[in-house]
Structure formats: structure tokens, C-alpha cells
Amino acid sequence: MFVRILPPEVRRKIAAGEVIESPADVVKELVENSLDAGAGRITVDTSKGGKRRILVRDDGEGIHPDDMEKVFYEGATSKIDSEEDLLNIGSYGFRGEALSSISAVSRVTLTSKHRSSDRGYRVVCEGGVIGKKEPAPIGAGTEVEVRGLFFNQPARLKFLKREEAEARRIREVITRFALARPDVSFFLASNGRKVLDLPTAPEEERIRQIFGTVPQLAQNGIGSIKVRLYFFPSSSGRFYTFVNKRPVSDRNLSSTLKKLLGFKKTGILFLEVPPFMVDFNVHPKKREVRFLRAEEVYRSIEGCVYKPPPKAVSFLSQRKKLPSEEFKVLGQIEDTVIVARIGDYLYFFDQHLLSERINYERLGESSEDVACRVSLKAGEKLSNREMEDLIRQWEGLSNREVCPHGRPIYYRIHLKEIYDRLGRDFHLY
């Protein structure tokens, strides 16, 4: 058997298979292009879970008339020039493969008007065959319509999920970009119905827009590494990770969050590192990352939850330093759950798990089983003083979130949420 060079059209389809496996991948690549173009608003409209049609429109810089055909070429990009640029990536896209890969397996209509141009243009590319550029009416920005995904690769269609599942994957893609870029407004429609409408907002407000809850924030940093970790109780235990405003699905980051927060919290991690310290070019879809000085990065993340142990001090001086906010014990539910107000939140502590974490750290984290056996049990009635003492000790723990087995120690709810449910205004005092 002799070695032969594959024709360009075959190579394009192979490359497309690495980048585009589903409608959600199409949406991801096109949204990345929109963000790199400086868009302030991005609209995504899909039909049949993106199998029939995907349209992405933005108000970004637009594509110069001279580049309308070039953007379909393999390796065509305006974001990097040399190999060295791969070590200092500041854009979402950089390989020059998005439109080339998408158009190799679909029918793409590209319409765009560059900010410096007085008119817009349109180019149609079907199965990798680029059509002629023609004038077209459009405001400043770009619109990409993708129809008939995998029309020329029917075998690939069999691997797509049902319409509802593909639509959920697209929503997840938009959700992740919306979390990463709260300075950009996003609108998502499916089969003519609005799914998401997210105006620009501060970071914490964007989280509330999406999840409908006020998250807790923990921050940390070592040198040029900055970490912001938002989290809140949930049954799903989902983790969202972002590196330099790029959504990533990295196993190591997710497992770190699971270890820190347990299984009953949603965590949203924003990690900022100098571009030279991170390599996004280790996965065909840029999902995974590799860090230079990885130990320092993970230590910064863990420092959000694990606080350094205090120096040996007397009990009295320790008590003076502990509470960061005033708290008030409100009572005990079924001799199992301690209820307390801390700041503008109501906290519900599992007294056994709280006692277990305290004993685990007191014993030097030597044995989970020993800590469990010597701890308070559910059903034990506690005095107000005993409950107050437990909360004071909780304030001084290195990990205040989960017990040694990973279960959440507490659930909390903001008073505003309670007032909203009752139809009353909540005022901070």
C-alpha cells in the first residue's frame, strides 16, 4: 500500500469532524467570532435544535469586503501571525478553522458590513465551495446562517441527539458565554420562541439573571493570578469554569471545585492568569487548558475556601478576631438543624456535619471516621449557648463549606428572596 496525499476537500471534512460534531459546536465557534469582533449584542436563532437552521447575528466590527471570501479558507485568521502568538493568546478564536470547518459540512450564508464600508456584502458557501461575493443590505456587523448541517455527510446525522437535547446543548453554550462576558447582551431563540434574553449586567447580577439566586463570593490571588469563586446550594452540583474569560470544561478544575464545595453546590470559577501562563491549544475544541506553574494556580483556587490556619492564640483573643459579621441564633429545627441570621442571610446548619468538620480540623484531619463518631448527632437538643459556640467555631474553620465526606454543612437564603416571595420590599439597614 502506497502513501498518498488526501485531496483538500477530504482534509477539510476530516478537520471539520474534529471541530464540529453538533449544532452546539457551530454556535460556539460563531459566538467566539462575534466576541472577537467586539460585539456588544449577540443574537442566536435556531430551528429544530440547530439541525435545520442556525443564525448568529452580531453588532461587531464586521468583515472587510476584501476578506469576505478569505474567511472560508482553511487557516484564515486575523488573530495571530506566528507560532509565538500561540503563547500569548488573547482572543477566543485563533486557528482560522471556524467558517472553513462549518462550511465544509453545511450550507453557509455570510452577510457582513465592515464599519469602514458604506455597504454590506454576502457570500454563500456550500460544502466547501465558495460562491461569488454580492452586495447585500445589512447594518454594521455580521450575520451567519447555517442550514443543513451534515447534509453531505448523512452518516454523521445519526450521531446527533434528539431536537430537545441539541437545543439544551445550545442553551448551555450561550449560558457559559453569558457568564464569561456579562458586558455583552445575549438573546437566544428556538423555533421562534425566546429562550434567553440577557442584557448587560455586573458579574454577580448576570449570575442572578441566569440562575435566579444571589451567589456567595470568595476571592483569592497569588501574584498575578486572580480567582473569583461564586457558589450557591443546588441539587445539580454543576461547575462552570472560566480562564481569562474563556469557558473551559477542564476535568482538573472541576474536580478541584468538587473537592472544595462538595456535591450539592453550583460553583462558578473565574480564573485570571497572564496569557503566557496558559495554553488553550491542547484540545481540538479548546475545551481543556494547560497551566505553567500549575501548582500555584490550584493553590490560589483552594485558597478561596481553605484559609490558612491561625497562629496559636488564647481562646479569648481568638474569639475577638473570629466573626466577620454579626450573627444571631434563631433556633433549632427538629433538634437537627440550627437556624441563624448572619448579615442579610438566613443560614440552616446541619449540626452533625458542622460538628464533624470542627472535630475533623481539630484532630488534624487525621480520620474522617473518628471525627464522625465523636461529633454531635441529629436529634440532640442544644442550648442557645451551644449553638452560638458551634457557629463561632465554624467562623474559624479552614473549610466552612463541606463536611469531611463532601456533604454541604449549611444552606443559606438571602432575606430579599424571602421578602420577594411574600410580595414585600426588602431594605438594607
* CA-to-CA dists, residue 35 to 26, 42, 70, 183, 254, angstroms: 14, 8, 19, 11, 25
Rounded Cα gap, residues 152 and 102, in angstroms = 12
Q: Is it the case that residue 321 has pLDDT exceeding 50?
A: no
Strand partners, 229: 218, 269
* 277/79 Cα distance (integer angstroms): 19
Could you report the per-residue pLDDT of 372-391, keeping only the tens digit for each? Answer: 888 999 999 999 999 999 99
Confidence of residue 223 (pLDDT cuts 50, 70, 90): confident
CA distances to 35, 213, 239, 249 from 180, rounded to whole Å, are 11, 17, 13, 13
The CA distance from 106 to 378, in Å, is 60
What is the C-alpha separation between 282 and 249, in angstroms, rounded? Answer: 12
Mean pLDDT of 159-172: 96
Nearest 5°: CA angle at 169, between 163 and 171? 105
Cell readout for 425 is 420590599
Mean pLDDT (whole number) for 17-25: 83
CA distance 303 to 269: 13
Q: What number is the average pLDDT over the span 350-370?
A: 87
- DSSP per residue over 212-250, as a string? SSPPEEEEEEETTEEEEEEEEE-SS--EEEEETTEEE--
Residue 86's pLDDT band (boundaries 50, 70, 90)? Answer: very low
Q: What are the E-state strand segments in 385-427?
A: 410-414
Q: Which residues of 42-63 are buried (b: 16+ CB within 10 A; e: fewer)?
A: bbbbbbebbbebbbbbbbbbbb
Q: What pairing do the DSSP bridges indicate for beta strands 265-272 and 239-243?
A: parallel
pLDDT value of position 319: 34
Confidence at residue 323, expressed as pLDDT on a 0 to 100 scale: 41
DSSP string, 55-107: EEEE-SS---GGGTTGGGSTT--SS--SGGGGGS--SS--SS-HHHHHHHTSE
What residues contact 198, with CB distance under 8 A and at least 6 apart? 178, 185, 186, 187, 206, 209, 210
The neighbour count for residue 336, using CB atoms within 10 Å, is 18
CA dihedral 208, 209, 210, 211 (to 10 degrees): 40
How many residues appear in the chain?
429
Place of cell 502513501: 3
Q: Is 83 a residue whose pLDDT tops 50?
A: no
Q: How confident is the model at residue 94 (pLDDT cuts 50, 70, 90)?
A: very low
Predicted pLDDT at 95: 46
In percent, how much of the chain has pLDDT > 90? 58
Task: Report H helices in 251-305.
Answer: 251-261, 294-302
- DSSP assignments along 133-163, one per residue: -EEE---SEEEEEEESTTTT-HHHHTTS--H
Q: Read off φ and ψ for residue 27, nearest 5 degrees.
A: -60, -45
* pLDDT given at position 318: 36
Q: Are 138 and 114 spatial neighbours (Cβ–Cβ below 8 Å)?
A: no
Q: Give the angle subtended at the CA of 311 by the CAs of 308 and 313, to the nearest 5°.
A: 140
Q: Which residue has the higher pLDDT, 114 or 276?
A: 114
Q: Which contiguous run of DSSP H or E holds residue 130?
A: strand 129-130
Q: What is the pLDDT of residue 258?
A: 86
Whole-number pLDDT of residue 307: 55
**What is the spatial distance between Cα 218 and Cα 304, in angstroms, rounded to a whole number?**
5
